[in-house]
Amino acid sequence: MKNITIKGATIPALGFGTFQLNPSEATHMVEAAINAGYLHIDTAQMYQNEEAVGKGIKASGVSRDKVFLTTKVLPSNLGKQSFLPSVEQSLKKLDTDYVDLLLIHWPNADVPLEEYIGELIKAQEKGYTKHIGVSNHPIKLVEQALATGANLITNQVEYHPLLDQSKLYDYLRSKDITLTAYSPIAQGEIIGNETLKAIGEKYGKNEIQVALNWLIQQENVLAIPRSSKEKNMQANIDIFDFELTPEEVAQINQLREQNLRVVNPGFAPQWD
Ligand SMILES: NC(=O)c1ccc[n+]([C@@H]2O[C@H](COP(=O)([O-])OP(=O)(O)OC[C@H]3O[C@@H](n4cnc5c(N)ncnc54)[C@H](OP(=O)(O)O)[C@@H]3O)[C@@H](O)[C@H]2O)c1
């Protein structure tokens, strides 16, 4: 497993996503994923499976300090009154004293950024989280967050071979902030992609393995694929034994022109 070190945090470059995993799937798959070598788990208040994720971590038998655990604060919990109580609830559900990373899941137009970033910093000061970051924050909002003095280590955004994120990525790199690629399989949309398949043939890898390898070979990029199936979860971590050539990377880079965004709810901010 490749690790990324950023501002005092060491994060496994490949994590396991848990969106849409129901509680029994979440417990089973988190346990199996940790035992397969995923030591980075991503959940959120929104996914309503924090309790199940916590059970999966316990069931794995791997000690809590060996797992990099992320959760995210729901947009409706960003106000001063609900922010910290909601994080306390998350810790209770996850059955842990701290998370490794606490993220703002989405900006909320009804809560000033300075207010919720202030609460995020308080959560860190209280020891509820080791590190802080944001998700779904375009450059303008990241700039505003940094102006408050917040020591952000990541911006978790959609990123895969079919979506160009170069503008945001270049900005984040200039600020020493990692990019955590969510929906790295474009929720299935990259399956069957001929370019990725052809490249994979040479290495005995499928198109998803090529896409994940392409993501994590980029400096300061992490990826958090999700699967409800052990076989797929195992395949998705079997990506560390090959290296794409510069020509292959360039070929995949061209796919980004499709600009396919699979996560774009009505409340999304103006993307870069
Ligand atoms: N911050 C945010 O706003 C945000 C938004 C979206 C996602 N996320 C995070 O990012 C994680 C990943 O994104 P995602 O859940 O949207 O989607 P994703 O990881 O891009 O794709 C998941 C889909 O790919 C399939 N799949 C996975 N591995 C496969 C394989 N080896 N072969 C064939 N199919 C495979 C899964 O089906 P099977 O279950 O059948 O394997 C599932 O349908 C989430 O779980 C969540 O933790 C964050």
Q: What is the pLDDT of residue 9?
A: 97
Q: Are 35 and 230 in contact (CB under 8 A)?
A: no
> Rounded to an integer, what distance in angstroms lies between the CA atom of residue 226 and that of residue 25?
11
Ligand 1 center–CA 226 separation, angstroms: 4
For the CA of 262, the closest atom of ligand 1 is 16
Probe residue for ligand 1, chosen from 226, 231, 263 as the CB with the greatest number of ligand atoms within 8 Å: 226
Q: Whose CA is nearest to atom 5 of ligand 1?
A: 182
Question: What's the CA gap between 166 and 129, in Å, rounded?
Answer: 29
Q: Using CA atoms, how far apart are residues 107 and 110, in angstroms rounded to an integer? A: 9
Q: Ligand 1 pocket test: pick from 183, 213, 236, 260 the residue with the most ligand atoms within 8 Å of its Cβ.
A: 183
- Beta strands (DSSP E) in 2-150 are 3-6, 9-12, 16-17, 40-42, 68-73, 99-104, 129-135
Q: pLDDT value at position 222?
A: 98
Pocket test of ligand 1: the residue of 19, 47, 221 to mutate, having most ligand atoms within 8 Å of its CB, is: 19
Tokens matching residue 147? 């102006």
Give the closest residue (by CA) to ligand 1 atom 11.
Answer: 17
Identify which of 131, 168, 169 has the alpha carbon closest to the alpha carbon of residue 153: 131
| Helix/strand/coil for 6 | strand
The string of pLDDT tens digits covering residues 78-116 is: 999 999 999 999 999 999 999 999 999 999 999 999 999
Read off φ and ψ for residue 14, nearest 5 degrees: -110, 120
pLDDT tens track for 106-165:
999 999 999 999 999 999 999 999 999 999 999 999 999 999 999 999 999 999 999 999
Q: What percentage of the chain carries pLDDT values higher than 90?
A: 100
- Which residue's alpha carbon is nearest to atom 19 within ligand 1? 225
Q: Return the ligand 1 atom nearest residue 209 CA.
A: 31
The three-class DSSP label of residue 268 is coil
Rounded to the nearest integer, the mean pLDDT of the chain is 98
Helix (H) or strand (E) holding 128: none
pLDDT at residue 174, rounded to an integer: 98
Q: Residue 58 pLDDT more than 90?
A: yes
What are the sequence ranges of the domains in the chain?
A: 3-188+218-228
Length of the chain: 272
The closest-lying atom of ligand 1 relative to the alpha carbon of residue 105 is: 1
**Catalytic sites, residue numbers:** 47
* CATH number attached to the domain at 3-188+218-228: 3.20.20.100
Residue ranges lining ligand 1, Cβ < 6 Å: 17-19, 42, 105, 135-136, 156, 182-188, 191, 208, 224-229, 232, 235-236, 263
What contacts 24+ positions apart, CB below 8 Å, involve 123-129?
123/83, 123/84, 123/87, 126/84, 127/97, 127/98, 128/84, 128/87, 128/88, 128/91, 128/98, 128/99, 128/102, 129/87, 129/98, 129/99, 129/100, 129/101, 129/102
Q: Are 30 and 41 in contact (CB under 8 A)?
A: yes
Task: Please tell me the predicted confidence (pLDDT) of residue 66.
Answer: 98
Type of residue found at 17 = G
Give the pairing type, strands 3-6 and 152-158: unpaired
What does DSSP say about strands 178-182 and 16-17: parallel, antiparallel, or unpaired? unpaired
Name the pLDDT band for 15 (thresholds 50, 70, 90): very high
Atom 33 (ligand 1) nearest CA: 232
Over residues 256-266, the pLDDT tens digits come to: 999 999 999 99
Return the pLDDT at 115: 98
Note the pLDDT of residue 1.
86
249 has pLDDT over 90: yes
3-state secondary structure of 89: helix
pTM greater than 0.95 (yes/no): yes
Q: pLDDT by residue (tens digit) across 30-49? A: 999 999 999 999 999 999 99
CA–centroid distance, 67 to ligand 1, in Å, is 20
Given a cut of 90, whether residue 228 has pLDDT beyond it is yes
